[in-house]
Amino acid sequence: MRTITHWINGETVAGSDTIEVFNPATDTAVATVPMADPATVEQALQAAATAAPGWAETTLSRRVQPLYRLRELLHKHRSELATMISEEHGKTLDDAAGEVGRGIEAVELACGGPALSHGMTSLQTGPGINTKSVAHPLGVVVGITPFNFPIMIGLMQASVAIAAGNCFIWKPSEQAPGVSVRVAELFAEAGLPAGVMTVLHGRQEVSEALIDSPISQAVAFVGSTPVAHSVYKRASEAGIRAQALGGAKNHMIVMPDADPDVVADQLTSSSFGAAGQRCMAISVAVVVGPDAGPLLEKLKPRAEEVVLGAGHVDGTEVGPVVTRAAQQRIRKAVADSIAGGATAVVDRSAEDPEGFENGYFVGPTILTDVTTDSPAYTEELFGPVLVVLRVDTLDEALELVENHHYGNGASIFTRSGAAADEFERRISAGMVGVNVAIPVPVAAYAVQGWKQSAFGNTGLNNSGWAFYTKPKFVTSRWDSVAGQDFGFRPN
Ligand code: NAD
């Protein structure tokens, strides 16, 4: 069993109040992780506060050197990190390695900090007057991350925060906490000074203690919508800035001219991949046209053939969900939905793969005849469950998305430029795909959402520079200073 520790002031710190971390494929404990007590939270905050002034004064170019080296170390340790993620989260090794890759992209973006984070100057905003804006680091900032991307989200937050001159305190999910400390160790190996990166484990109480501390200047949160909203409110109460990204119910609109084989392949991977535990997973397919039957005929065999199993076993396509509680919640939602009148085109929700009967598995499931007021449609199930609806027109499909309280992602599959254009313009979601099922923007753009999928107005990655700095506007005039007449006046 691994012992996971906190990471404070450049070293590991053990704790006494520990909980176990389970391998979701086997239901066996693989690690223990401490939940920080108030004294440890304070120790972490003080260490970060002590490091903050020096880090803010470090030159831009020096600040990004550890990020360049971290990039190399993440590549070098990619398979070790992927193994740890797969063991604690359940996703396949390939998927976990892909996640590390998306995290590396975030680090690469932040290496461009000196070019990406700067202010502006305007000359002659008045006679002999110049006005400029400069971006100051905030100081100590907090990142609270979800279980489903144990390394990627933390790297998206920390890389920009640190490059922008802040000290970052990471509170990862207690369900998959192992890699966060490895990242902190690799940051240290890359030359990041002590106190600039901190990892503190815990649950609600630790998040709240960090937000409430007068040392914290900002909180970036990613997780479920109810918690995102409560973090956002708490940060407002504390008077600090917050961005809080929440849950999702992502729709794919399938136009009559879309290639059904391509759509069926894309739906199979985007709805069932990572056991549906991606914030950009497609959980609703909206078929535009008289009959969803032909698409369902293509989808059914694919869903039936998906290989369910442990993430580390060769050939596995879909691993378990993260906890027993999640497994029971999703299985119950499927059963309730069927009892309420939905039709199961495929129902593998109660399936346990051979040899892993104790794991937290939920197999790919496709439901039709789901009403738009039922929980299977309104709620985020966060499992491999796809709801298929049918409508007559693109207008109706767009209206469905408009009326849903989530607005994280959406996509359309079509060969019509006009339909794609209409969709792009009218769709009410923050990350949108045209013939791309999971349109997570590359790091040069932002990960963000609309409606109940995000609170606060900036996202992860390249839009983070504004979040992690505070602007100052300087208006200056030198031509009138006594004794400073150089015999020159601007015209
Ligand atoms: P969660 O909301 O349960 O937990 C997220 C984090 O908040 C964890 O670190 C947890 O320890 C902490 N936490 C839990 N309760 C808290 C509370 N009351 N106050 C403060 N902190 C608290 O989410 P999860 O189950 O870990 O992650 C899955 C959710 O994250 C899904 O809803 C998914 O859609 C969402 N998600 C969204 C995005 C996005 O970009 N919008 C990305 C990834 C995941």
What is the residue with the minimal CA distance to atom 42 of ligand 1?
A: 279
pTM attached to this predicted model: 0.97
Q: Is 167 a catalytic residue?
A: no
CA of 27 to the centre of ligand 1 (A): 22
Nearest to 176 by CA among 212, 203, 150: 150
What is the residue with the minimal CA distance to atom 38 of ligand 1?
A: 279
Strand positions, DSSP E, 331-408: 343-347, 365-368, 385-391, 406-407
Active-site pick, 160, 167, 244, 279: 279
pLDDT digits (tens, 9 = 90+) for 9-62: 999 999 989 999 999 999 999 999 999 999 999 999 999 999 999 999 999 999
Q: Is 203 in the pocket of ligand 1 (CB under 6 A)?
A: yes
Q: What is the mean pLDDT of residues 367-388?
A: 96
Q: What is the mean pLDDT of residues 211-230?
A: 98
CA of 9 to the centre of ligand 1 (A): 26
Q: Which of 153, 227, 245, 380 to mutate to test the pocket of ligand 1 (most atoms within 8 A of CB)?
A: 227
Q: Is 147 in the pocket of ligand 1 (CB under 6 A)?
A: yes
Predicted pLDDT at 282: 98
Is residue 480 over pLDDT 80?
A: no
Q: Is 382 in the pocket of ligand 1 (CB under 6 A)?
A: yes
Sheet containing strand 343-347, strands side by side: 343-347, 365-368, 385-391, 282-288, 250-254, 409-413, 431-434
pLDDT digits (tens, 9 = 90+) for 229-263: 999 999 999 999 999 999 999 999 999 999 999 99
Q: Point out the ligand 1 atom lying closest to the alpha carbon of residue 173.
A: 9
Compute and round to an integer the Cα radius of gyration of the chain.
24
User: Which of the four pLDDT bands, split at 50, 70 and 90, describes residue 491?
Assistant: low
User: Which of the four pLDDT bands, split at 50, 70 and 90, describes residue 118?
Assistant: confident
CA of 444 to the centre of ligand 1 (A): 24
Q: Is 370 in the pocket of ligand 1 (CB under 6 A)?
A: no
Is residue 490 over pLDDT 60?
A: no
Is ipTM beyond 0.85?
Answer: yes
- Measured in degrees and rounded to the nearest 5, phi and psi for residue 113 equal -45, -50
CA of 227 to the centre of ligand 1 (A): 7
Return the ∠ at Cα 268 (arms to 264 and 271), rounded to 5°: 125
pLDDT digits (tens, 9 = 90+) for 163-182: 999 999 999 999 999 999 99
Q: What is the mean pLDDT of residues 448-453?
A: 97
Is residue 482 over pLDDT 60?
A: no
Give residue 463's Cα distance to chain centre. Answer: 14
Q: What is the mean pLDDT of residues 256-279?
A: 97
Q: Is 227 in the pocket of ligand 1 (CB under 6 A)?
A: yes
pLDDT digits (tens, 9 = 90+) for 312-363: 999 999 999 999 999 999 999 999 999 999 999 999 999 999 999 999 999 9
Q: Is 173 in the pocket of ligand 1 (CB under 6 A)?
A: yes
Q: Is 88 in the pocket of ligand 1 (CB under 6 A)?
A: no
What are the chain's domains?
2-246+453-474 (3.40.605.10), 250-434 (3.40.309.10)
